[in-house]
Structure 1
Amino acid sequence: MLSFLEGHTSEVCACAWSPAGSILASGSGDSMARIWTIADVMSRSSLQNEHSSVVVLKHVKGKTNEKNKDVTTLDWNKFCSAPPASYPSGMGCASCGHVKFKAGSARHGVFRVEGRLLATGSYDGQARIWSTNGKLKSILNKHKGPIFSLKWSKKGDYILTGSVYKTAIVWDVKAEEWKQQFEFHSGPILDVDWRNNVSFATSSSDNMIYVCKFGESHPIKTFSGHQKVVLLFLFSFSSGKKGDMWVSAKHYFVWAKLTVSNGTPTGSLLASCSDDITAKIWSMKQDKYVHDLREHAKEIYTIRWSPTGPGTNNPNKQLLLASASFDTTVKLWDVDQGRLICSLNGHRGPVYSVAFGPNGEYLVSGSLDKSMHIWSLKECKIVKTYPGSGGIFEVCWNKEGNKIAASFADNTVCVLDFRM
């Protein structure tokens, strides 16, 4: 079943599900982000937002400046920044809605993960923090140019931003001020991601990846090896290997859980991809990449880690890396061996976005050919296809695994009700 969410007046370049449930955020070139609350039951022919409510987040007041209006990136907070003792058992945190359960209960000491704050980055160089009811809580203003990437820290107390003007800034969310500015790159910063709550990595058009840490005036690790723009990279926290390893990719990167020798999950895999038609795997123990993935025929636009392997909710499944390319294919990689498992062929245009389902059994891909494919990873084949009326910039899966969202160049957002 499909639902098309209308309201944006320009291409929708970003979308993201809140970990709080059926709440979806979208960002557009119309200077607005929108927060959609999606009903559990959707009509196959819904075209008039019948099964959703929406809050509009205006980033520009009055007449829009065409040169700086785009909402370029967005991210939901996932952890509570307030100390557990700051609110009573059974009550929610005032800032994020996380719940501390009463002593003696089966879930005592467990905090429910809920995305109640949305951070957006914009072409005007400002980062903004919003509540789900549309209230603008903070404006973070120091960058001199467009923000291309933005991420909440693991604990939710900091936000990391990267700008076209070669700087990355860590912001203290509670104090609403910048904590430290990092100026190591010689080109625009295209992606940022956290390793843990005090260290992170940045990638740039200068082909470099730097790992940085609070209080340090120089990078604690430098990776070089890509021959063209490093657009994306992701840290992984899941691996069957002991030690510190990273995989690098083109547009963004994420840390995944890794079971190291002492059993402590730490960000140890980094994935990066580039216009040089490669994705690479790096180790913190060495400067040169561990694996050089070279099966694509054109630029690799994006990569994603599977939610599988030790330290994840699917510990008995193999950790995979997916890469999507302008060559119209998605490829699945064995991370330990650095080898190609299978090539997913079915799109007729560049593939801009991929996302794994939360159980690691399915993958969704979105392409400029206006189609969205859902793949069975067990069989490496398409199980469902959904045509759209515009190129697809981003796809994402909600945490329950029953809804998929896609953002389109024709100004719409599509939500698919997925059950196999």
Structure 2
Amino acid sequence: MSTSPPEPVQAPVEDSGPSPVKTFKGHESFVWSVSFVPNGHEIVSASGDGSIRTWDIETGEESGDALLGHEEQVYSVALLLDGQRLVSGGQDKSVRVWDLGTRELVGRPWEGHSDSVFCVDVSPDGSFVASASYDSLISIWDLDSGEKVFEEMRCEGRVYFVKFSRDGSKLVTCSSDTHVRIWDWREGTLLVGPMEGHERDVASAVWTLDDKQLISAGYDSKIHRWDSETGESIGEPVVAHEETIYSLALSSDGSILASVSSDRSAKLWDASTLELLATFWHEGIALSVSFSPDNKLLATGCYDHLIYLWNVPQLEGDKQSKNDSFFDLPATVPPGENPKMQGAQTDSLTIEELLDFPATLRPPQNGPAKPAHRKRFLGRLIPRRRQRLPSEVHGGTELQESKNVKQGRLRAIRVAAAKAKKFIVVMGNGPRKRTPVENEENAEEEGEEEEEESNEEQGHSRAPDSDSDSDSVHGCCWRCCHWMCYEMVTCYL
């Protein structure tokens, strides 16, 4: 009898949270592994009941017959990119290849491990399979012949996880000796590691899209980030769950990280900042996780024999680029006007870049417009006496705020710079009709601006100017105000 993994200990349910879209019922034991078929219409699962099953996402029903052949628990499945075959590993020490069309075993079982095969993975080119075993060994197999083709790599404890890099040149392993390692799998030599930082067994890891970093997690309930070239830890680990983290998954665009734990939760994280985005609660321990190809759905396999399907929050539908900034929101433009003339954003900006965007100008009241100097917004926001408030922590994000700062007639209601997301909210007096006296004063100020511009070009210094127009949010643009107050603000160029 081969070794089985330790029995998970269930934590109490903390909160109900969002409800799953569907639950798939049919397994008679733990669901150790879930994965989406590349077409996105089905889910494949592996269970402690010895079966591999496929599920129709639309109907929630099992599709086709169960794949039966493993003599004991099935711990891992990995699909080929063609979506027609999958590889599995189990407690019976074997690796098997299956045809999803015929629902039959392809060839004979691959034998060579002396203990449970807990994880399998297929190389990006679909030619090789890596298997990780409780016998401390990692083996590489030729997918077509089923023969072991490269020397075995050895860790100092049970190997829980194995994954090819996205370029196919390297292999990462996670093991019970608390270490993460990176291998040249063709040579069987250790490239990086053992990486030290985890306090207990390491259960799972993901490569970032460029293969330059690794994110790992395990029994110490922490998520660690590593430089895959040097093995150095990047930043401080994040205590992500209250209990063991069994599995990680990364969305196909690399923006969202998912983790599942014996605290009965699945959590979504910003993959760049490890900021918590969402939490999904289960009735039992969550053991496995996978994103759909379009990143709209999340599947989790559970201790209660069920598979859960969840909607991935679209924070998403508001965000149009890969950058996590509220400035990535599309600009809101009055009907019939050209977005490009309203400062609509197409690229990510820092706060400093945004503040240095040319200030907006009001349209002419009477007659043709005359050329006018466009002030830079940065100068307008410098307060007469700068007040720095103590930093405070709000929702895990440290903010430094300045409230009700006045510079001339422009009023900065709230300005905040956050570690995870940078944003600025500016409001001014709304549009109103100017009096003849104000029109005359404004004409004089525009003349002064032109003179100042001329002096500046000749090398003369210039003090920050105050806002001279309360008829619009003079100096604000769609880049900064559409997020919070676009319904109330009109901006002109």
TM-score range, shorter chain: 0.5 to 0.7
Give the residue type in structure 2 aligned to 1:55. E
Q: Which residue of 2 aligns with 1:274?
A: 175
Give the residue type in structure 2 aligned to 1:37. I
Q: Pick closer, same or farther for the CA change 1:153–1:28 going to 2, 3 Å.
A: closer
Q: Which residue of 1 aligns with 2:259?
A: 365
- Secondary structure of the corresponding residue to residue 234 of structure 2: strand
Write out aligned runs for 1:2-17 (5 A): 2-3=19-20, 5-6=22-23, 8=25, 11-17=30-36
Choose from 227, 250, 262 the match for 1:334.
227
Give a deviation string over 1:323-343, Cα, whole Å, max 9, x none: 111001111222122222232
Give the residue type in structure 1 aligned to 2:164. F
Q: Which residue of 2 aligns with 1:290?
A: 191
Distance (Å, rounded) in 1 between the aligned partners of 2:275 and 2:293: 23
Give the residue type in structure 1 aligned to 2:240. G
- Secondary structure of the corresponding residue to residue 390 of structure 1: coil
Q: Pick closer, same or farther for the CA change 1:346–1:23 going to 2, 3 Å.
A: same
Aligned length: 290
Give the residue type in structure 1 aligned to 2:39. A
Q: Which residue of 1 aligns with 2:140?
A: 211
| Cα displacement (A) at 1:228 | 0.9
User: 8 Å contact 2:245–2:262 — kept in the other structure?
Assistant: yes
Give a deviation string over 1:205-227, Cα, whole Å, max 9, x none: 21111222268796332243411
Q: Pick closer, same or farther for the CA change 1:411–1:207 going to 2, 3 Å.
A: closer
Give a deviation string over 1:319-375, Cα, whole Å, max 9, x none: 432211100111122212222223222311111121112221221111111222222
Distance (Å, rounded) in 2 between the aligned partners of 1:186 and 1:371: 33
Say if 2:89 is the partner of 1:162: yes
- Secondary structure of the corresponding residue to residue 192 of structure 1: strand
Give a deviation string over 1:266-315, Cα, whole Å, max 9, x none: x2121111111111100146443111111100001112223x12xxxxxx
- Give % identity: 22
Give the residue type in structure 2 aligned to 1:418. P
Q: Pick closer, same or farther for the CA change 1:227–1:386 going to 2, 3 Å.
A: same
Distance (Å, rounded) in 1 between the aligned partners of 2:140 and 2:259: 29
Give a deviation string over 1:2-41, Cα, whole Å, max 9, x none: 3253463755443333332354455556778462435xxx
Say if 2:138 is the partner of 1:202: no
Distance (Å, rounded) in 2 between the aligned partners of 1:235 and 1:333: 16
- Secondary structure of the corresponding residue to residue 177 of structure 2: coil
Distance (Å, rounded) in 1 between the aligned partners of 2:48 and 2:92: 20
Q: Which residue of 1 aligns with 2:76?
A: 149
Write out aligned runs for 1:251-400 (5 A): 256=166, 258=167, 267-284=168-185, 286-292=187-193, 293-306=195-208, 308-309=209-210, 319-342=212-235, 343-400=237-294
Choose from 314, 320, 333 the match for 1:419.
314
User: 8 Å contact 2:39–2:83 — kept in the other structure?
Assistant: no
Distance (Å, rounded) in 1 between the aligned partners of 2:24 and 2:279: 25
- Secondary structure of the corresponding residue to residue 233 of structure 2: strand
Q: Which residue of 1 aligns with 2:119?
A: 191
Give the residue type in structure 2 aligned to 1:330. I
Report the more deviating stretch, 318-327 or 347-356. 318-327
More strand by share: 1
Distance (Å, rounded) in 1 between the aligned partners of 2:134 and 2:78: 19
Distance (Å, rounded) in 1 between the aligned partners of 2:84 and 2:52: 25
| Cα displacement (A) at 1:55 | 1.3
Q: Which protein has the larger Cα radius of gyration, Structure 1 or Structure 2?
A: 2
Distance (Å, rounded) in 2 between the aligned partners of 1:199 and 1:411: 31
Q: Pick closer, same or farther for the CA change 1:2–1:23 going to 2, 3 Å.
A: farther
Question: Comparing both chains, which one has the higher relative contact order based on Cα–Cα distances under 8 Å and sequence gaps of 6 or more?
Answer: 1
Q: Pick closer, same or farther for the CA change 1:366–1:171 going to 2, 3 Å.
A: closer
Structure 2, gaps ≥5 residues long: 1-17, 316-493
Give the residue type in structure 1 aligned to 2:172. A
Give the residue type in structure 2 aligned to 1:325. G
Give the residue type in structure 1 aligned to 2:189. K
Say if 2:65 is the partner of 1:55: no
Choose from 149, 154, 165 the match for 1:220.
149
| Cα displacement (A) at 1:187 | 2.3
Write out aligned runs for 1:125-136 (5 A): 134-136=63-65
Q: Which residue of 1 aligns with 2:163?
A: 234
| Cα displacement (A) at 1:152 | 3.7
Give the residue type in structure 2 aligned to 1:294. E
Distance (Å, rounded) in 1 between the aligned partners of 2:157 and 2:176: 5
Q: Pick closer, same or farther for the CA change 1:217–1:150 going to 2, 3 Å.
A: closer
| Cα displacement (A) at 1:232 | 1.4
TM-score, length of structure 1 as denominator length? 0.60
User: 8 Å contact 1:6–1:411 — kept in the other structure?
Assistant: no
Distance (Å, rounded) in 1 between the aligned partners of 2:53 and 2:201: 29
Q: Pick closer, same or farther for the CA change 1:372–1:208 going to 2, 3 Å.
A: same
Distance (Å, rounded) in 2 between the aligned partners of 1:213 and 1:10: 31
Q: Pick closer, same or farther for the CA change 1:285–1:188 going to 2, 3 Å.
A: closer
Q: Pick closer, same or farther for the CA change 1:147–1:355 going to 2, 3 Å.
A: closer
- Secondary structure of the corresponding residue to residue 340 of structure 1: coil
Structure 1, gaps ≥5 residues long: 39-52, 57-133, 237-255, 259-266, 310-317
Give a deviation string over 1:66-105, Cα, whole Å, max 9, x none: xxxxxxxxxxxxxxxxxxxxxxxxxxxxxxxxxxxxxxxx
Q: Pick closer, same or farther for the CA change 1:215–1:276 going to 2, 3 Å.
A: same
Q: Pick closer, same or farther for the CA change 1:370–1:173 going to 2, 3 Å.
A: closer
Q: Pick closer, same or farther for the CA change 1:366–1:146 going to 2, 3 Å.
A: closer
| Cα displacement (A) at 1:154 | 4.2
- Secondary structure of the corresponding residue to residue 348 of structure 1: coil
TM-score, length of structure 2 as denominator length? 0.52
Give the residue type in structure 2 aligned to 1:209. I
More helix by share: 2
- Secondary structure of the corresponding residue to residue 220 of structure 1: strand
